[in-house]
Amino acid sequence: MRGNTLSGRRKMFGWTAVAFIAAVIILCGTIHIFASSGDSRPYNRYYTSVRVEEGDTVWSIADRYIADSQVSKRDYVDEICRLNSLTDGNVRTGDYIVVSYYSQDIK
């Protein structure tokens, strides 16, 4: 009789452990889904005119406007050159150039 009681307790412990582990896995999955969803609004590309200040280069301008883009810095600089017909990538103080920037706001 005592053997049946011990065996029943082991089974109950086993099922309790399995239920606990399953609950932890489900909870972790739920937390991961909510944490990764975040703000899933898309980024929109916009264009603006920028005045070239003393000491600016296309690379330094790219540093200011590349935020929130999925583009590499090199590709972004190439885009600035293409948009402004810059064959050598040089800009002059006082010139205005067009750059793109990214925002989740709809403008």
pLDDT (tens digit, 9 = 90+) per residue, 5-44? 667 777 777 788 777 787 778 776 767 665 555 556 777 8
Contacts of 40 (CB under 8 A, 6+ apart): none
CATH match for 44-103 among 3.40.50.150, 3.10.20.30, 3.10.350.10, 3.30.420.10: 3.10.350.10
Q: Could you tell me the two tokens for 74? A: 């090199």
Domain ranges in the chain are: 1-33, 44-103
Spatial distance between the Cα atoms of 88 and 16, rounded to a whole number of angstroms:
70
Q: Quick: pLDDT tens for 46-80.
A: 999 999 999 999 999 999 998 877 889 999 999 99
Spatial distance between the Cα atoms of 75 and 62, rounded to a whole number of angstroms:
10
